[in-house]
Chain A
């Protein structure tokens, strides 16, 4: 019950459509996100996702909100996919990730529209994500150099979303044959993972491929972030990254073989689709929340666009005489929903008017 009516306190499950038309009890139209009441796994998940989205928004407000948010979401979803597919709960973090990943799609969408409402809650993942958006900002600089590892993480994050950068990473870390076969995106991830698990190059590559699989539903950016995380983990040996890398590597082995062929296609497609899928997701989720306001907003928009007549309420109008005078169209009739029937005047109207 994450959403609570601010007037009467009635709570609604996340995604509830009831609240779209106002609180059925009191008619209130203000709701607050109430993560405190987390009891069920669902609520916890939603809260997490919400937190993620918020952190992403807060950090990345400057300009790259969408990209940062999408990257984060994608990263989570990818983790979730990987972990869930593998069926392995390697770390507490990873366990959290799959949950969040499941939820991430809806909250991600919400993140854009409802981000302000969502209450923050600090979690292990959030710092990473918060870093990522920053990384996004610093993309250009990071792209140029595969630099010392501290920057390398951020750089990796930034670079990864854009497939073109990976070749550079390859050269830096270690250029392997399999990477080119996978195509630009997965290959880069594989190289770094390989660096960690030098023993089996094949499994490492395979690991990168499953990521790409997981990515395929999500945007390519998600691949980049995930792979980057994995790569970072391998290089940096950070606790978080390492755990993820472990989980991934394990997963990869199981999943690799069947999907390899697909991986190529997906990577290729993913590169193309990078922008589209996240936006689609966002729309799908956000639409229900947006619908109800959209009616009023539409009316407001109409009134603004056609300033010549403002419908205060049925039977009550405010008229902008100058607008009416200036407009070319001839308003034949007016409807209460804010629409006009208009026509271009001709000289025919005299006959009707006379009678």
Chain B
């Protein structure tokens, strides 16, 4: 049945693209590893489609292939916006299997590391060609000014992609939304906790507004 629905989805997507002016925007969820991208993607998908996107984990690089949830229809204020959500692997400049050796065997850690690296390459490639807008997810408890964040935001800006910055994990004690706002004042920052579901209304409002 999955295959059938998949086929149906893809066909409907094609027909949508061919005959509908409202082609769903493909929104990439980007950010450093462990910022809560998959958690956010899952919450959005569950809220509007009932399905999850992928597994979540506290271990970085759980998402090592870009996953897409298509035709997520978000209704706000009587309008409906359909988007494709692309959950991407966390982007980083360095992947070291020793990060994972506490959690798993060395061989698994090495494989995870390699897959994560492939995932970053994939994410960067998607960013180059396959996304129409970006949700940039940051951990509010972490310093947002990093090489990765600066570079990715710069790339997104250079492509003139619409971008929302999500200050995630506001449920944590040492979260600081202001630190993120100050780091990227040129973009709208929305605080939320994807895990707890905090402030999701504002999230959807902004998604509909920005990407609709």
Q: Determine the distance from Cα of A350 to Cα of B95 in the docked complex, in whole angstroms.
A: 26
Given the known inter-chain contacts A315-B113, A351-B10, please indicate yes or no for A345 contacting B93, CB distance below 8 A.
Answer: no
Residue interface bits A279-320, CB-to-B below 8 A is 1, else 0: 000000000000000000000000000001100001111111
Binds B, one of A19-27, A121-129, A183-191, A327-335: A327-335
Chain B residues lying within 8 Å of A309, measured Cβ to Cβ, are 117, 121
Chain A residues lying within 8 Å of B76, measured Cβ to Cβ, are none
B66 within 8 A of A: yes
By beta carbon, the residue of chain A nearest B147 is A321
Asked if B94 and A331 make an inter-chain contact with CB atoms under 8 angstroms apart, the answer reads: no
Q: Determine the distance from Cα of A324 to Cα of B93 in the docked complex, in whole angstroms.
A: 11
Asked if A325 and B124 make an inter-chain contact with CB atoms under 8 angstroms apart, the answer reads: yes
B-side interface residues, number (CB < 8 Å): 37
Query: What does DSSP make chain B's interface, helix, strand, loop or mixed?
Result: helix
Q: Which of A330, A345, A354, A355 has the most chain B CB within a 10 Å cutoff?
A: A354
Q: Which of A308, A316, A332, A351 has the most chain B CB within a 10 Å cutoff?
A: A316
Partner of B124, one of A315, A317, A321, A336: A321
Partner of A315, one of B110, B118, B125, B148: B110
Chain B residues lying within 8 Å of A330, measured Cβ to Cβ, are 121-122, 125
Asked if A315 and B96 make an inter-chain contact with CB atoms under 8 angstroms apart, the answer reads: yes
Asked if A345 and B129 make an inter-chain contact with CB atoms under 8 angstroms apart, the answer reads: yes
User: In the assembled complex, how far is the CB of residue B136 from the closest CB belonging to chain A, in whole angstroms?
Assistant: 14
Asked if B67 and A324 make an inter-chain contact with CB atoms under 8 angstroms apart, the answer reads: no
Partner of B2, one of A318, A334, A355: A355
Partner of A316, one of B66, B70, B113: B113
Asked if B6 and A354 make an inter-chain contact with CB atoms under 8 angstroms apart, the answer reads: yes
| Residues 108-130 of B at the A interface (beta carbon under 8 Å) | 109-111, 113-114, 117-118, 120-122, 124-125, 127-130
Given the known inter-chain contacts A315-B96, A330-B125, please indicate yes or no for A321 contacting B117, CB distance below 8 A.
Answer: no
Asked if A318 and B70 make an inter-chain contact with CB atoms under 8 angstroms apart, the answer reads: no
Partner of B70, one of A314, A321, A336, A354: A354
B177 within 8 A of A: no
Q: Determine the distance from Cα of A1 to Cα of B129 in the docked complex, in whole angstroms.
A: 61
B206 within 8 A of A: no
B92 within 8 A of A: yes
Chain B residues lying within 8 Å of A322, measured Cβ to Cβ, are 151, 155
A18 within 8 A of B: no
Q: Determine the distance from Cα of A326 to Cα of B158 in the docked complex, in whole angstroms.
A: 12
Partner of A334, one of B94, B109, B117: B117
26 contacts between A and B (CB under 8 A): A309-B121, A314-B114, A315-B95, A316-B95, A316-B97, A317-B94, A319-B93, A319-B120, A320-B93, A321-B93, A321-B124, A321-B148, A321-B151, A324-B125, A325-B128, A327-B125, A330-B121, A331-B122, A331-B125, A334-B114, A334-B117, A345-B125, A345-B130, A350-B10, A350-B68, A354-B67
Please list the 10 inter-chain residue pairs (A to B) with the smallest Cβ-Cβ separation, ordered nearest first.
Answer: A315-B97, A315-B110, A324-B124, A331-B121, A315-B113, A317-B117, A317-B95, A325-B124, A316-B96, A353-B67
Residue numbers of A with Cβ under 8 A of B are: 308-309, 314-322, 324-327, 330-334, 336, 345, 350-351, 353-355
